[in-house]
């Protein structure tokens, strides 16, 4: 009888929810499997992962400001080949696992039906905010939610002398997540403070509090410290510090553009806001452990929101880290009956429709496999052993052609976008001239500039060089863009 009961519980609590999330993840993401041009960021991460196998190092040989942990994920995805299917399947598996973890956390404050809707809603809204591929939060959200679940168990558990070690494990998890995206630091600070509160509640001495704090901070900083130590060993401490910690403050973006993106994202999240209001009202009536855990999830949501708001650019995929706390916070309202019965259908329909529209519109905008393979074939025909520079266009062409790079500033926006003009730690114009001095065999440029965002100075320098030393070999359509392919004369 007991074994039968356990089997039923295992199926209802673990197996069926897991299968549901796997099915939703596969159905919602599989149409984009194998598409090499899902998002320019992912194309670049994949390129860096591939070139790391050839000995190139992030920041030194290929510049960017993302943490090394993200590039290691893509390095691992390219161990057995191009990595396009590998990283997309890995992202799908991680998304499903994150939905399951959201479900497990939500069960602490909500009914099973609400917890499952929260997990499915997470998977659908990933698509709404360009998480259909391998954006960094798709990977690190799983780590953060696992750390949150561990923290909630520690806060609710008995005093058993294991707080120090459990806290070290939790903070080490967050340290790993920080090495995928630095904005996790805000959630890390919140969880660290929650653990310190638990330590204080156990009536620890001041010496014990300091010891716990030091150990937990050290664990959170360990992965970043290890990365810094490696680059220090190479004599590239300054390069690492500028790329990882300083360059982001040199970016300049029009405020109106950021506010426009913020307004759209806030509107798309409307079902979560409605659910949050309902839960907040009901939380005032909760007591005991439920009240404490509702407060914890609300505070976590605030910490994640701060990490989103503080940098100001508000790109749609920057919303992705907010989805786990918002989904969990909404869960208690998603199984409600009566006047709030509409919330679960509203959330699922909004996520499904907006996600489907977003994926389709981005597919039309960014192009498809056939188009980019056609462009790559033209490029390969004119390389003649030389290098490629994609001034404007998809970085995946480097991967598909195997072409060498002519500059460490490979990500197109670093040399073509106005917002990066003072963020690279070097003169953008000089960097472009140095690239042109290498005489790359092929250069790709967009047929039209965007006056509001294009760096017109670097674009003028490039076009002067194209007129002097290059010939147009072909125009090529990629989504809604018309690219021009130039070859060295």
DSSP state letters, 300-358: HHHHHHHHHHTT----GGGGGGGHHHHHHHHGGGTT--GGGTTHHHHHHHHHHHHHHHH
Amino acid 5: pLDDT: 53
**Residue of 53, 60, 430 whose CA lies nearest to 241:** 60
Q: What is the mean pLDDT of each run of 10 residues along the chain (489 residues)?
A: 59 88 98 96 98 98 98 95 95 99 98 97 98 98 99 94 96 99 98 97 91 98 99 98 96 87 97 95 83 96 95 93 99 87 96 97 94 98 98 98 98 96 95 98 95 92 98 97 97
Q: How far apart are CA 49 and CA 73, in angstroms?
A: 8
Amino acid 357: pLDDT: 97
Give the helix, strand, coil percentages of the chain, each rounded to 5. 70, 5, 25
Note every long-range contact of 234-242, with CB atoms under 8 Å and residues 24 or more positions apart, other chains counting. 234/57, 234/60, 236/59, 236/60, 239/59, 239/60, 240/59, 242/425
**Residue of 469, 443, 458, 59 whose CA lies nearest to 238:** 59
Spell out a b/e string for 127-143, using b for 16 or more CB atoms within 10 Å of the CB, else e: bbbbbbbbbbbbbbbbb
In a 3-state reduction of DSSP, which class is residue 124?
Answer: helix
Please name the residue ranges forming H helices in 384-469: 396-401, 412-416, 428-437, 456-469
Provide the strand spans (E) within 121-180.
none
Report strand pairing: 387-390 vs 404-405.
Answer: parallel
Report strand pairing: 387-390 vs 442-446.
Answer: parallel
Note every long-range contact of 389-392, with CB atoms under 8 Å and residues 24 or more positions apart, other chains counting. 389/435, 389/440, 389/442, 389/443, 389/444, 390/443, 390/444, 391/415, 391/416, 391/443, 391/444, 391/445, 391/462, 392/416, 392/444, 392/445, 392/446, 392/483
Q: Tokens at residue 376, please?
A: 């790559």
The single residue listed with the structure tokens 């998002």 is 39
Amino acid 281: pLDDT: 85
Amino acid 7: pLDDT: 57
* Pair 19, 367: CB distance under 8 Å: no
**Residue of 6, 25, 28 whose CA lies nearest to 100:** 25
Note every long-range contact of 410-414, with CB atoms under 8 Å and residues 24 or more positions apart, other chains counting. 410/44, 410/47, 410/62, 410/63, 411/40, 411/44, 411/63, 411/64, 412/40, 413/40, 414/63
* Pair 297, 194: CB distance under 8 Å: no
Amino acid 23: pLDDT: 99
**Residue of 465, 454, 450, 382 whose CA lies nearest to 414:** 454
Amino acid 451: pLDDT: 80
């Amino acid at each position: 009888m007991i074994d039968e009961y356990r089997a039923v519980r295992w199926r209802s609590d673990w197996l069926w929810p897991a299968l549901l999330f796997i099915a939703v993840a596969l159905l919602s993401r599989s149409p984009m499997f194998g598409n090499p041009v899902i998002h320019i960021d992912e194309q670049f991460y994949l390129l860096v992962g591939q070139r790391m196998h050839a000995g190139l190092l992030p920041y030194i040989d290929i510049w960017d400001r993302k943490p090394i942990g993200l590039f290691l994920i893509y390095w691992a995805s390219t161990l057995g080949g191009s990595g396009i299917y590998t990283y997309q399947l890995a992202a799908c598996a991680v998304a499903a696992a994150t939905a399951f973890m959201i479900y497990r956390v939500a069960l602490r404050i909500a009914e099973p039906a609400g917890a499952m809707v929260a997990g499915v809603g997470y998977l659908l809204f990933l698509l709404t905010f360009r998480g259909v591929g391998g954006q960094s939060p798709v990977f690190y959200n799983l780590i953060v939610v696992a750390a949150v679940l561990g923290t909630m168990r520690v806060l609710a558990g008995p005093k058993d002398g294991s707080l120090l070690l459990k806290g070290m494990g939790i903070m080490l998890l967050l340290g790993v997540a920080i090495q995928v995206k630095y904005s996790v630091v805000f959630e890390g600070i919140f969880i660290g403070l929650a653990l310190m509160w638990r330590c204080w509640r156990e009536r620890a001495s001041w010496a014990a509090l300091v010891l716990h704090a030091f150990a937990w901070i050290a664990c959170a900083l360990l992965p970043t410290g290890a990365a810094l130590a490696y680059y220090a060993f190479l004599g590239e401490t300054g390069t690492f510090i500028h790329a990882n910690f300083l360059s982001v403050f040199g970016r300049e973006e029009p405020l109106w553009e950021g506010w426009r993106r913020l307004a759209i994202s806030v509107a798309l999240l409307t079902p979560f806001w409605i659910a949050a209001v309902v839960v907040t009202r009901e939380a005032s009536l909760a007591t005991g452990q439920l009240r404490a855990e509702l407060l914890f999830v609300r505070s976590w949501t605030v910490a994640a929101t701060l990490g989103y708001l503080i940098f100001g650019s508000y790109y749609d995929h920057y919303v992705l880290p907010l989805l786990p706390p918002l989904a969990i916070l909404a869960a208690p309202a998603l199984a409600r009956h009566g006047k709030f019965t509409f919330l679960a259908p509203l959330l699922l329909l909004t996520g499904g429709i907006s996600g489907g529209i977003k994926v389709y519109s981005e597919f039309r905008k960014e192009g498809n496999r056939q188009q980019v393979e056609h462009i790559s074939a033209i490029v390969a025909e004119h390389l003649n052993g030389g290098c490629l520079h994609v001034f404007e266009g998809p970085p995946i062409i480097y991967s598909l052609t195997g072409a060498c790079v002519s500059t460490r500033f490979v990500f197109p926006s670093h040399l073509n976008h106005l917002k990066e003009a003072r963020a690279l730690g070097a003169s953008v114009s000089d960097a472009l001239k140095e690239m042109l001095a290498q005489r790359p065999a092929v250069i790709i440029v967009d047929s039209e500039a965007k006056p509001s965002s294009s760096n017109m100075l670097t674009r003028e320098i490039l076009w002067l060089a194209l007129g002097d030393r290059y010939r147009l070999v072909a125009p090529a359509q990629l989504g809604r863009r018309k690219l021009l392919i130039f070859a060295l004369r």
